[in-house]
Amino acid sequence: MTTTSTLRRALLYVPSSSQKFLSKSLLLPHPTDNITYDLEDSVIPSLKPAARTNLLTHLSPLSKPPPNVGELAVRINAISTPYALSDLTTLAPLPSSTLSTIVIPKVNSPSDLTFVIDILRQVSNQNEPPKKLIALIESARAVMNLKQICEAGKGYLDGLIFAAEDFALDLSLTRTPSLREFLYARSAIATAARAFELSSTVDLVCTSYKGEEGKARLEEECRDGKEVGFNGKQCIHPSQVEIAQRMFAPDEREVEWAVRVVVADEKAQVAGRGAWTMDGKMIDAPVVGKAHSVFAKAQKCGLDVDGLKEKWQGQEPE
């Protein structure tokens, strides 16, 4: 059963059919929360068996992810394909310390998850933590089944990902820069993930990544995703990772506010005050809860919250 929250501000796909990309994935210049080796969309059918073998050869010597990578995952093929079972039986026996997470595409119903869970129970080492699962939500049917999908994955499911292109295809939608056409589905996914206390809600791919225009577009999409309730972004190029991780980390002003609230609330608690003010605004239990959440996330993102806490040690509840 998953018990700790995993940071996935960026989920970087790496095609497993390319030995060059597999090798380069261990030498990325910037820290990366997640690398997801892909056996699905980026691999043509004739290369899928070879890609699976490539990935097994690539991962087998590793006892854990490289120092600058938070976790290693694999996106298997959809359960409806003839490739998924071999993907699972080949790769799931790898130690969870090496390959900790399995991303499952086209999860339309609870049975898609329970199929994977049943296989994991048969082929995984029972003496180590189980693999975490992340479900890709790609259709209208999947959105309508979110509650049942999350219930079926209890103890294994750790996140949801929104796949915009397949969803647009399913509903005959045209993707626009505003992303307005996806608002209902994205809100439903973010809400379900929070309701079932999943670590991750990973937003759609930004297909622009070249030049200043691509960077600006990515920042805009990350900002929008964060406002909807997502806490990470799918990335298709290493150049997107730094931007996504910066955008989905608390910003400097947000962290400073959270530290001030946490410091002042400790003093308010000693004084028996359940509500107080700071900068002329009321601070009560929900606001304090948000501050502690931002504080904890800032710590996980490697921000200097201890230094800020020392700076604001004199903050008093008004």
pLDDT in tens, 132-149: 999 999 999 999 999 999
pLDDT in tens, 273-286: 889 999 999 999 99
Spatial separation of the C-alpha atoms in residues 287 and 275, rounded to whole Å: 10
pLDDT in tens, 89-102: 999 999 999 999 99
Confidence of residue 318 (pLDDT cuts 50, 70, 90): confident
Which residues participate in the annotated binding site for Mg(2+)? 138, 166
The percentage of residues in the chain with a pLDDT greater than 70, rounded to a whole number, is 99
Which residues participate in the annotated binding site for substrate? 75, 138
Residue 1 pLDDT exceeds 60: no
Long-range contacts of 251-258 (CB under 8 A, 24+ apart): 254/294, 255/294, 255/295, 255/298, 255/303, 255/305, 255/308, 256/308, 256/312, 257/291, 257/294, 258/290, 258/291, 258/292, 258/294, 258/295, 258/298
Which residues participate in the annotated binding site? 75, 138, 166
Q: List the one residue out of 86, 90, 150 whose CA is nearest residue 114.
A: 150
| pTM confidence score | 0.90
pLDDT in tens, 271-317: 988 899 999 999 999 999 999 989 989 888 888 888 988 889 899 99
Confidence of residue 4 (pLDDT cuts 50, 70, 90): low
Helix 84-91, helix 48-59: angle, nearest 10: 10
67 φ, ψ (degrees, to nearest 5): -55, -30
- Per-residue pLDDT at 310: 87
The vertex-297 CA angle with 30 and 309, nearest 5°, equals 105
Could you tell me how far CA 252 lies from the centroid of its own chain?
22
pLDDT in tens, 72-91: 999 999 999 999 999 999 99
